[in-house]
Structure 1
C-alpha cells in the first residue's frame, strides 16, 4: 500500500476508519476529484466514440469508468498512472494523468518505478501531442509554419503536463517525510525527557533517603550518648542527694553541661539543614536536581564541623565522671585525617561507650586506638556487667540502631567493622578505617 501521507490527523493519532483515507476530508477530496475526472473523461469519450466509430454510450461509459479511477490515487497510484497512459491514445484523462503523476511522486514508491512511469507518460503524451498538433496545423489550411513547430509544441505540451506534477509531488512527499521524521524525533525526545525525569526523581528520592538516614544517624549519636550520660548522672544525683550534697551539686552541674552540649550539637545540625532553605521563597518546591547536591553539601559541612579523634579523650573523661571505669590506650603517632574518617572514628567510640552505659552499667571498659601507616583502628571492649550497677542501664531504652549505624558508617568509608560478645561475658566493638580517603 502506498500513500501520500494524509492517513493521520494533525494530532498524530489514527482517526476513525474511512477505508484507506483515514479522514473524511481526504475521502471527500478524492471523491470530488474522481467525479470531476469522470465528467471530463465522459465528455472526451463523446469525441472518442465519434472518431473510433463506436456507440456513444460505450464511449461515455468508458470515460466514466476510467475517470472514476482517480478515487484510488492514494491506494494504488501506480494503477492510476498506468490507466492514464493506456487511455492516452483516446485523448482523454488529462486530470487523471496530472493528478495521478502527482500522487505517484508524493507516495513512497521506489524512485526507479516513478522514473519509469513518468517517462512512459511523457513519451505517450509527446506522441499524442505530436499527432494532434500536426492534425490541427493541417486542418487550419495555413502555410507550413516549419518543421520545428510541431515537435516543439508537442514537447512543450508533454513536458508541461508531466514535469510540474511530478516535481510538485516529489516536494510534497519529501516535506511529508520530513514532518513525520520531525514528529517521530519529537516523540522520541519527549520519551527520553520523561525517562530522564523519572531517573532524576529516583536519584532525588535516593538522595533524600540517604540524607534522612544520615540525619537519623547523627541525631542518634548526639542524643543517645548525651542523654544516656544525663540519665546516669541523674540516677547518681538521686542516690547521693541526701547523703552527699556537694557531690549532688557536681552531678547536677554535669547534667546541665551534658544538656547544653546536646542542644548545641542539635542546633549546629539543624543550622546546616536550614542553610539551603534561607534563599528559597516560602512554599517554593525544592528542585529535584538540587536535592543530591544539598545532601552532599550538608554531609560535607557536618563532617567538617563534626568531632575529631582528639575529642575521644574528653569523651572518655565524661564517661569517667559518670562513674564508669574506662582505660584509654593510644598506639602510634596521631596525625590529621580526612574529616569523615575522624568523625566516624569518634562516633564508633561514642556509640560503643553509650551501649556500655545502657547495657553494661558498672562494667570496666578498655578503649584502644591504633594509628597505623594507612589506617586507624579502634576497639572498645567491656567486661561483664556489674550486678550493682545493672539497674541504671536497665532504665535506658534502646532502639537497636547503634550497631547498625556504626556498621554503615565504617563500611561507607571502605573499612571493616566487627562486633560481638566476648568469652568473659562482655562485648567488643572493633573497627578499622582506611586513612587515605579524601575529604
Structure 2
C-alpha cells in the first residue's frame, strides 16, 4: 500500500517522481545519504559479529539506509525495513524518521499503532539482550534502560508525526474552506452585478415609459390645439385665444412633469442593496391617480374629442356619480398604471382616430379595477393631426399591466374602431 503526496492534491506540484516539491526530494535524498552512511558504518560491526566480510556488511548497511529515500512513497515498507534490521543494531535514524513519516501520512491509525508497537518491542528486546551480558547482576537496571531506549526511539517520532499530520490536514481543510468561500463570494459578486444590471435596465425602462406618457399625451394635445388654433385664428379670435391658453397650460404641465422626473434622476442614488429591490417600483407615490381621470378626460374634450366617461362602483349597475376615484383607495402603483393606460389610449385616439367618438369605462370591482377605452370608426371628414407614432404605446401599456399581474387586451372592434382593455388586481386600502 502506498501513500503519496498526490493524495493531498497536486496544486503547485513541481517535484520529480512522487515528490510534490523539489525541496522535499532534496531533503529525502539528503536524509537517505546520511542514513546510508550510518548503516554502512554499523554494517562493519554487524559483519564482524556475523562472521561475514566487512565489504558485505558495508554494502548491506548502505542499501538498508538508502531505503529512507522511499519514505514518502512507501512509509510502511521503510518502517518494516527498520524493524527487520533492529537485531543488527543499525538504522537508528532510519527507524526514527520512518516512524515519523508513517504517523504523519494518511496511513490508517491502527496500522501506525501496530507498527509502532512492533518497533518498540524489537528495540526493547535487542537492548535487553545486548545490555544483559554486561550487567547480569542488575536486571532492574537492564529492564529500565531497555524500556527507556525503546520508548525514546519510538514514542517521540510517532507523537510528533501525528501532530504534523493533524496540522497539515487542518491547514488543507482551512485552505479548501477559504477556496470555497472565495468561489462563493465571486458567485455572489456576479449575482449582485447581474441584479444591479437588471435593476438599471428596469429603471431605464420605467423612465422611458414615464417620458413617453408625459411627452406623448401632453404634446399630442398641444399639437391638436395648435391645429385648431391655426384653423380658427382668423374666423373666431375668442376661440383662438382660448385654444392658445390651453396650449400654454398643457405646455407648462408637460414641463412641470418633465422637471419633476429629471429631479428624481438627479437625486442622490440609493444604496446598491436597495436599488435591486426598490428601483423598478420607484416613483409611484408622486404619480397621477384615478382621482385625476376626470381632468384627463376633460383635456381631451377641450381638444375637440367627443369623450364619454362611464365609472361604475363595486356591486353597482349604474354609473358612479361621485367620480372616477371617489370612495375607493388603491395602491399607488395600481392607480398610476390605470391612469397611464387611459392616458395612452386617449393619446392613440388623438393620433389615429381624429373625430371618432370615444368611451372611457372604469369599473371598481371586488379585488380589482378594470378600465376600457373604445373609439368608434374614424370620421373621414376630420383633419389628420399628423402626429408621429413611436410604436411603443401599446407595448408600454402591456408591460405596465403585466408587471402588476393584470390582464391586457387590445385590438380592433367589429364596427371598425379600436378597443383597449385592462384589468388590474388590487387590495382596497379603505
- Please report the TM-score for the alignment, with normalisation by the length of structure 2: 0.93
Deviations along 1:330-375, whole A, 9 cap, x unmatched?
A: 2225311111111111111101000001111111111111222322
For residue 378 of structure 1, report the CA deviation from its aligned partner: 1.3
The 2-side partners of 1:198 and 1:413 are apart by 28
Matches within 5 A, 1:327-338: 327-332=308-313, 334=326, 335-338=328-331
**Equivalent residue number for residue 266 of structure 1:** 258
Say what the alpha-carbon RMSD is for the aligned residues.
Answer: 1.9
**Equivalent residue number for residue 169 of structure 1:** 161
**Which stretches of structure 1, 4 residues or longer, exceed 6 Å deviation after superposition?**
4-8
The 1-side partners of 2:274 and 2:18 are apart by 52
The 2-side partners of 1:166 and 1:124 are apart by 16
For residue 437 of structure 1, report the CA deviation from its aligned partner: 7.2
Aligned 8 A contact 1:40 1:67 in 2? yes
Aligned 8 A contact 1:7 1:22 in 2? no
1:276 aligns with 2:268: yes
**Equivalent residue number for residue 402 of structure 2:** 411
Deviations along 1:155-209, whole A, 9 cap, x unmatched?
A: 0000000000000000000000000000011111111111111111111111111
1:350 aligns with 2:335: no
For residue 18 of structure 1, the aligned residue among 6, 16, 40 is 16
**Equivalent residue number for residue 417 of structure 2:** 426
SS at match of 1:22: coil
**Equivalent residue number for residue 283 of structure 1:** none
**Equivalent residue number for residue 281 of structure 1:** none
1:304 aligns with 2:297: no
1:249 aligns with 2:250: no
For residue 361 of structure 2, the aligned residue among 368, 373, 394 is 368
The 1-side partners of 2:413 and 2:142 are apart by 117
For residue 77 of structure 2, the aligned residue among 76, 79, 83 is 79
For residue 37 of structure 1, the aligned residue among 35, 38, 43 is 35
For residue 274 of structure 1, report the CA deviation from its aligned partner: 2.6
1:230 aligns with 2:231: no
For residue 378 of structure 1, the aligned residue among 363, 371, 377 is 371
Change (3 A) 1:147 1:47: same
For residue 438 of structure 1, report the CA deviation from its aligned partner: 7.5
The 1-side partners of 2:207 and 2:237 are apart by 40
Question: Where does structure 1 lack aligned partners over 5 or more consecutive residues?
Answer: 139-143, 278-285
SS at match of 1:371: strand
**Equivalent residue number for residue 49 of structure 1:** 47
For residue 152 of structure 1, report the CA deviation from its aligned partner: 0.7
Question: Where does structure 2 lack aligned partners over 5 or more consecutive residues?
Answer: 314-319, 321-325
**Equivalent residue number for residue 179 of structure 1:** 171
Aligned 8 A contact 2:354 2:382 in 1? yes
Aligned 8 A contact 1:228 1:357 in 2? yes
- Please report the TM-score for the alignment, with normalisation by the length of structure 1: 0.91
Change (3 A) 1:136 1:274: farther
The 1-side partners of 2:89 and 2:70 are apart by 21
Bigger mean CA offset, 354-363 vs 200-209 = 200-209
SS at match of 2:355: coil
Change (3 A) 1:111 1:342: same
SS at match of 1:276: coil
Change (3 A) 1:47 1:438: farther
The 2-side partners of 1:60 and 1:435 are apart by 98
The 1-side partners of 2:116 and 2:256 are apart by 89
